[in-house]
Amino acid sequence: FWRWSQPAARQEPILRFLTVAAAAFLFYHFAFQNDLSRQRDWDLFAVVGPPVTLWGLYAWLGAVDNVPAASTSRTLRQILATGLAFATLYAVCWIGVNYAFTLVRPNPDERELYARYRLLDLTELVSTAAVTPDTPICAEAEGCERVALTEFTMPQSGDHRPTIFAHAPATIAFSLTVPEDRTFLWLSPALDPQAWEWGGDGVTFAVRVRAGEGEQTLWERHITPLEPAHRDWQQAFVPLDDYRGQAIELLFITDPGPDHNDAADRAGWGMPWLMRGTVDVTRIEH
């Protein structure tokens, strides 16, 4: 970029314009990136890349034209051609991968940003779901439903999420057709904070799929209030890629713990979302 230091280059209006434009786009990228609705979105480079590239090409070609030695000029042009070929190949691969895959890195602290990937909130299907057993958990007229819509709030953080309450033992069967696209379940299973001190042996959560004549367990975990780390929202990411385009029964199951004690088994499926894309389990922020 030695050409930029020459008086003629500084007076060249096109180069000045491209320099100012590239600098403005770079300032926009670094100054306002975190204020966008899609934070840390690498697609922002698609906005900044073209003007910066145009400025670089113009400056490089200007430098080539001002090189007195023909061999040096040819070398610079070859370097430019190689760089452009690599950049084109990289861009084509980038676009292809992004077209074929939607890689999602769920972060519950920023869940409003991920609503754009949500295909279905399963709380909307509770009224039509089949519940087994369908008996109440107590004899009172109200508040004894085995399965109901509610909200759990974690007292240590104030983090509250819409929840499908499911007192163990309970099986909730949702009938749905899995989309043709890649999808996964984003679930926040948890124990009701008001029952943490009631004793018991915890609850075993499981997600199963019933398709055709078979039933398969996709995810299972035992959560107990005796473990301090379990006194919070847990995270479960369950891919449904094997059932794309199929009509299935999606089963949310809560069972008593190993001692079969269901006295304090107030459990819930927080924020049960069906998401579009593929979850990146290697870089999930907890």
pLDDT at 10: 46
Tokens coding 76: 């610079």
pLDDT at 42: 58
Q: Which of 105, 65, 57, 98 is nearest to 81 (CA)?
A: 57
How large a percentage of the chain has pLDDT more than 70?
86
pLDDT at 139: 84
pLDDT at 40: 52
pLDDT at 52: 83
Q: Give the span between the Cα atoms of 73 and 146, in whole angstroms.
A: 79
pLDDT (tens digit per residue) in 57-81: 878 777 777 777 888 878 878 887 8
Determine phi and psi for 171, rounding to 5 degrees.
Answer: -125, 125
pLDDT in tens, the chain (286 residues): 444 444 444 447 777 788 888 888 888 777 765 444 444 555 666 777 788 888 888 787 777 777 778 888 788 788 878 877 887 887 777 667 666 677 788 888 888 888 889 999 999 999 999 999 999 998 886 778 999 999 999 999 999 999 999 999 999 999 999 999 999 999 999 999 999 999 889 999 999 999 987 899 999 999 999 999 999 999 999 999 999 999 999 999 999 999 888 888 999 999 999 999 988 876 554 4
Query: DSSP string covering 68-83, please?
Result: S-HHHHHHHHHHHHHH
Q: Contact, 186 vs 162, CB < 8 A?
A: no
The domain spans of the chain are 2-103, 108-283
3-state secondary structure of 109: helix
pLDDT at 91: 74
Q: CATH number of the domain at 108-283, out of 3.40.50.2300, 1.10.1060.10, 2.60.120.1060, 3.20.180.10?
A: 2.60.120.1060
Which residues are CB-neighbours of 256 under 8 A, at least 6 positions away?
Answer: 168, 169, 201, 203, 204, 262, 265
Q: Contact, 185 vs 263, CB < 8 A?
A: no
